[in-house]
Chains A and B, each alone.
Chain A
Amino acid sequence: MESFIQLLVSGLATGAIYALIAVGFSLLWQTSHTINFAQGEFVMLPAFFILAAMNAGAPFWLAALIGIALSVVVLGFLFKVVIVDPMLKYGVLPLVISTIALSLFLKEAAKDFYSSQAQPFPTLVPATDLEVFGAVVSTQSLAVLLVAIVTVVALHLLLHKTRLGRSMQATAQNPTLARILGIPVERMVLYTFLLNAVLVAIASILITPIYLAKFTNGEVLGMAAFLAAIIGGFNQVRGAILGGVILGVLDNLSAVYISSQYRGAFPLLILIAVILLRPHGLLGRAEERTV
């Protein structure tokens, strides 16, 4: 039982990080029909921004802010303007190919220009263990969980309680109608890209102390984000959150209780089952199929 609680907490922590990545992923899909195959690399990269800033002498908190800011400029603004905008007119598939190439590009760039070796990365809180109901829980897991929950709550408030957020939602649901109502649709789409960049940067700060900063990190994380988004429902923010949490908990529990060799396989089997039985995800709305 103790080990179950431990696994559950660390699973929730990982799942919360997956959820952040998956939310960004589904936001991009909702507003611009961008399927970002480089989302995993988007999480890998900010850690290297932060390490570079720290090498230049900045303290961790400043480096983290610089990392988030750089991420907003490069992975938000430049990604939208340089890669996505010229491709949108060709439809979904060419952009998919382009982001596959981008993921390769970012991975190679991190390897060639920073290092091919795994780099240690500072943790948010000193790593000690707490005893909760007889189970040993690491403070790191709790800190990750806390930051992720705060981020998700902030995002929820932004999307549902502010004028800006409602405009973004309107843009996602029906761009034509949103434009008629006087919402600057292009700017709202840009904002979702910036929002995605902030989310991946936060996810990067949370996950890198566990994984170490390595150029191949994106492969696993990107996959987790797709899986979470699809399992939960591609077109719903809360679907992506649910998917991320399910994935994180399941990953940890199945590795211990079923088979550690096939831990990677269970989420995939769930994915295939979900796609066959409920193609629009657990919480998603069915999208009209375009001819």
Chain B
Amino acid sequence: MNRFGVVALGAALILAIVATVAPFFLRRYGIYLISMWAVLTIAAIGLNLTLGYAGQVSLAQGAFVGIGAYTVALLTQSGWPYPAAFVCAGALCFAIGWVLGYPALRVAHHYLAFVTLAFTTLVFLVLRNEEWLTNGIYGINGIERPMFFGWSTGSALDFYFFCLGMLAVLSAATWWMLRSPWGRAFLALRENPIRALSLGLDTRRYTLMAFAIGSSLGGMAGALYAPLVQFIEPGSFGLGMSFNLLLMVIVGGSGYFFGPFVGALVAVLLPEWTRFTEGYYLLIYAALVMVMMAFSPSGLLGLVERVSKVMTRRAASPLALRAKGTEP
């Protein structure tokens, strides 16, 4: 295993331990926050796949979270078991994502941002106006938390562990996929689509695939979001959420595997930490994002990588010389 693999494995281990131990030191609201972190991280991982790995700017991830949340809420309330509803949410978003990916084939990057922006607004309008299905602006209340083989996830702590478990499973699956030929194909697509095509990659299929898998992760995040907050309404899934998810991926570092984890953490915790500023936190968040974009467009992890590179170069250069000198 190379050095990067060791670092990533270490980071994942530390993350897992902290995430498992943390809720025992937190009160109810704290547990809610870290559950939200786990759910948003899943959605952000999906967007990172589309944006960071396949290089397609999407402003539709919030809409997919909404579609997933509504699917699960409606299906479980009409008597479906939760796992079936969960799979349905993922599959539905996969299919819609695949279809939405078609414009991605036709138009260049920034136009796609507008197509997905339009899509998000359309989804919001449907959720708000089709009252027979979605109950319109009144939203859906009293969404049950699921039960598995006698283990009820009704309490905040139990549901957190359920979310954490799903995060672990889905991020492991994403990690595996990124190391597979598929993941390499996504990277090739981002770096140089024309060269990828000339090397015999079916760029059409891989672009659609990246879009669909990213969207399906958004849907699954929505499937967890609905039972977490237990009340959903169209306003939660408007452009605001899509912008927020995009900012999470960028702030964490798009194209870094752990970027979404960091970005979602910042997005969840910053409002709490800056609570003393009384409502100015969005102002501060926006200003910080602008400052960060000017100095490190590759996000916080990009910053960490740059700093660590400078440090190791400084530390390594005298060592390397010494090592050369001692060897015959």
Residues on A facing B (Cβ under 8 Å): 35, 83, 86-87, 90, 92-98, 100-102, 104-105, 108-109, 112, 219, 223, 226-227, 230, 261-262, 264-265, 268-269, 271-272, 275-276, 279, 289, 291
B87 an interface residue at 8 Å Cβ cutoff?
no
Report yes or no: A262 in contact with B280, Cβ–Cβ below 8 A: no
Given contacts A275-B111, A279-B111, whether A102 and B279 have CB atoms under 8 Å apart is: no
B28 an interface residue at 8 Å Cβ cutoff?
no
Report yes or no: A105 in contact with B122, Cβ–Cβ below 8 A: no
> Could you say which residues of chain A place their CB within 8 Å of the CB of B285?
104
Contact of A275 among B106, B129, B283 (CB under 8 A): B106
Given contacts A98-B290, A108-B282, A262-B125, whether A268 and B118 have CB atoms under 8 Å apart is: yes
Which B240-265 residues have C-beta < 8 A from chain A? 243, 246-247, 250
A230 to chain B, nearest CB (A): 6
B73 an interface residue at 8 Å Cβ cutoff?
no
Report yes or no: B286 in contact with A108, Cβ–Cβ below 8 A: yes
> In the complex, which range does the number of interface residues on chain B fall in?
35 or more
B85 an interface residue at 8 Å Cβ cutoff?
no
Report yes or no: B129 in contact with A90, Cβ–Cβ below 8 A: no
Which B66-93 residues have C-beta < 8 A from chain A? none
B6 an interface residue at 8 Å Cβ cutoff?
no
CA distance A102 to B121 in the complex (A): 21
CA distance A48 to B184 in the complex (A): 51
B103 an interface residue at 8 Å Cβ cutoff?
yes
The main secondary structure of chain A at its interface with chain B is: helix
> Could you say which residues of chain A place their CB within 8 Å of the CB of B118?
227, 268, 271-272
Would you give 30 A-B contacts (Cβ < 8 Å), ordered by A?
A90-B293, A90-B297, A94-B297, A97-B246, A97-B247, A97-B289, A98-B289, A98-B294, A100-B243, A101-B247, A101-B286, A102-B286, A104-B285, A105-B287, A108-B286, A112-B279, A112-B283, A223-B121, A230-B111, A230-B114, A261-B129, A262-B129, A272-B103, A272-B115, A272-B118, A275-B103, A275-B107, A275-B114, A276-B103, A291-B193
Top-10 shortest CB links A-B: A105-B286, A101-B289, A94-B297, A268-B118, A104-B286, A108-B283, A98-B293, A261-B129, A86-B294, A101-B286
Residues on B facing A (Cβ under 8 Å): 57, 103, 106-111, 113-115, 117-119, 121-122, 125, 129, 192-194, 239, 243, 246-247, 250, 279-280, 282-283, 285-287, 289-290, 293-294, 297
> Could you say which residues of chain B place their CB within 8 Å of the CB of A112?
279-280, 283
Given contacts A223-B121, A264-B121, whether A101 and B114 have CB atoms under 8 Å apart is: no
CA distance A92 to B293 in the complex (A): 12
CA distance A272 to B119 in the complex (A): 9
> Could you say which residues of chain B place their CB within 8 Å of the CB of A83?
290, 294
> Could you say which residues of chain B place their CB within 8 Å of the CB of A265?
121-122, 125
CA distance A98 to B119 in the complex (A): 22
CA distance A95 to B289 in the complex (A): 11
CA distance A104 to B267 in the complex (A): 14
Contact of A35 among B107, B110, B283 (CB under 8 A): B110
Given contacts A96-B57, A97-B247, whether A268 and B286 have CB atoms under 8 Å apart is: no
Report yes or no: A92 in contact with B109, Cβ–Cβ below 8 A: yes
For the complex with contacts A101-B290, A271-B118, A279-B111, 6 further pairs of A-B residues with Cβ separation under 8 Å are A35-B113, A104-B282, A105-B290, A108-B283, A262-B125, A272-B103
> Could you say which residues of chain B place their CB within 8 Å of the CB of A108?
280, 282-283, 286
Report yes or no: A279 in contact with B283, Cβ–Cβ below 8 A: no
B239 to chain A, nearest CB (A): 7
CA distance A269 to B109 in the complex (A): 19
CA distance A38 to B259 in the complex (A): 25
CA distance A64 to B297 in the complex (A): 38
Contact of A264 among B117, B125, B280, B287 (CB under 8 A): B125
Nearest residue, chain A, Cβ from B287: A105
Report yes or no: B294 in contact with A87, Cβ–Cβ below 8 A: yes
A246 to chain B, nearest CB (A): 15
Report yes or no: A289 in contact with B115, Cβ–Cβ below 8 A: no
A217 to chain B, nearest CB (A): 15
Nearest residue, chain A, Cβ from B285: A104
CA distance A87 to B246 in the complex (A): 18
Q: Which of B117, B118, B250, B297 has the most CB of A within 10 A?
A: B118
Report yes or no: A101 in contact with B280, Cβ–Cβ below 8 A: no
Contact of B293 among A97, A262, A268, A289 (CB under 8 A): A97
Nearest residue, chain A, Cβ from B51: A93
Report yes or no: A289 in contact with B108, Cβ–Cβ below 8 A: yes
Contact of A291 among B57, B194, B250 (CB under 8 A): B194
A229 to chain B, nearest CB (A): 9
Report yes or no: B293 in contact with A87, Cβ–Cβ below 8 A: yes
B328 to chain A, nearest CB (A): 47
> Could you say which residues of chain A place their CB within 8 Å of the CB of B297?
87, 90, 94, 97
Nearest residue, chain A, Cβ from B108: A289
Nearest residue, chain A, Cβ from B102: A276
